[in-house]
Chain A
Amino acid sequence: MAAELSLTVNGEPHRAAAGSSIADLVQAFGLDPKKVAVERNGAIAPRSTLADVTLGDGDVLEIVHFVGGG
């Protein structure tokens, strides 16, 4: 098992420790998991499971929130 995972987060390459959960990643960015939504490899990652889902090498993640819009 690699010590680090290669991820794509919001279109940018990113590295995370092996064994990290989605919640770990979100918190590492200083984000409140209650204020964002996460898509992992094209599928919604339900908020209730963020702490339970372990990231895999090559995962593609989208972290979104609400911004002003018309």
Chain B
Amino acid sequence: MSIADESWADDSWTVAGRTFRSRLIVGTGKYKDLAENAAAVAAAGAEIVTVAVRRVNISDPKAPMLTDFIDPKKVTYLPNTAGCFTAEDAIRTLRLAREAGGWDLVKLEVLGEARTLYPDMRETLKACEVLAGEGFLPMVYCVDDPIATKQLEEAGAVAVMPLGAPIGSGLGIQNRVTIRLIVEGAKVPVLVDAGVGTASDAAVAMELGCDGVLMNTAIAEAKDPLRMARAMKLAVEAGRHAYLSGRMATRKYADPSSPLAGLI
């Protein structure tokens, strides 16, 4: 493959039969305002955004709406169940989301406790089975455990999304071994969801062979969110190309790059 034909530039991925070019999914929380949020989505080149389902503020129904700033016809909305601590709540939330937007591709997340926001895998699996049975296509936030992700696949997950570190922590990929094991064993796309803090973290996820990365806080809480969105776009692309190019082997000692023959 040569640079000239640029065929390497077309590197799309497919989840549940839907094909996307961008491997960066971004959240829509924590931004200063909806306009900055929309600008960050554009700078990230994201084709999918996660959104939350919440009560309408009936005392202020004219408050600006997310859909006025990020057009659901142009950007795929991925309704999530963030904030749900039981399978029942998550299922209820996604049924409402499907009614509100008509989308069956959803992000399932069932949390175990507020302190760590670690997923409750027993409830997550239960919810995944029910949702898949109702025709939903759940992309599932989960622990970085290759057995748990297999069980999710069996329960109907269309993508598995292990955490790199706790939600909102920005600690980066804590366990490359387990993420790599998940990638090797998975038959569905694998996306690191949560824990990315800066561009190199996103690149690491992609170099491990993940199909994509999902993040919110790393962009929203950067001092310049639009520039960080751009950095994340480039990092995801760089990491993906590095993975596909097949990195060099590591050595214990130095190996000169200039020829040893002909030294004066």
List A residues at the B interface (Cβ < 8 Å): 9-12, 14, 29-31, 35-39, 44-47, 62-70
Contacts and interface: CB of A to CB of B under 8 A. Distances in A.
Given A29-B58, A31-B61, A35-B65, A69 B96 contact: no
A42 B178 CA distance: 40
Contact of A36 (B31, B56, B66, B92): B56
B56 A11 contact: no
Given A39-B96, A63-B56, A66-B101, 9 more contacts: A10-B56, A29-B61, A36-B56, A39-B92, A44-B95, A47-B99, A66-B77, A67-B54, A70-B50
A65 B82 CA distance: 14
B197 to A, nearest CB: 14
Nearest to B53: A64
A31 B56 contact: yes
B61 A46 contact: no
Contact of B55 (A11, A14, A30, A68): A11
B27 interface: yes
B132 interface: no
Interface of B: 27-31, 34, 37, 50-56, 58, 61-62, 65-67, 77, 79-80, 82, 92, 95-97, 99-101, 167-168, 216-217
B217 A68 contact: no
Contacts of B67: 35, 65-66
B188 to A, nearest CB: 21
A65 B65 contact: yes
13 contacts: A10-B58, A12-B58, A29-B58, A37-B97, A63-B55, A64-B53, A64-B55, A66-B67, A67-B52, A67-B54, A68-B37, A69-B27, A70-B52
Nearest to B167: A70
B173 to A, nearest CB: 18
A65 to B, nearest CB: 5
Contacts of A70: 27-30, 50, 52, 80, 82, 167-168, 216-217
The 3 residue pairs across chains A and B that have the minimum distance between CB atoms? A69-B52, A70-B27, A37-B100
A17 to B, nearest CB: 17
B201 to A, nearest CB: 16
B82 A69 contact: yes
Nearest to A66: B51
Contact of A35 (B34, B50, B100, B217): B100
Most chain A CB within 10 A, of B50, B65, B167, is at B65
Given A30-B62, A37-B97, A70-B216, A65 B56 contact: yes
Most chain B CB within 10 A, of A38, A45, A63, is at A63
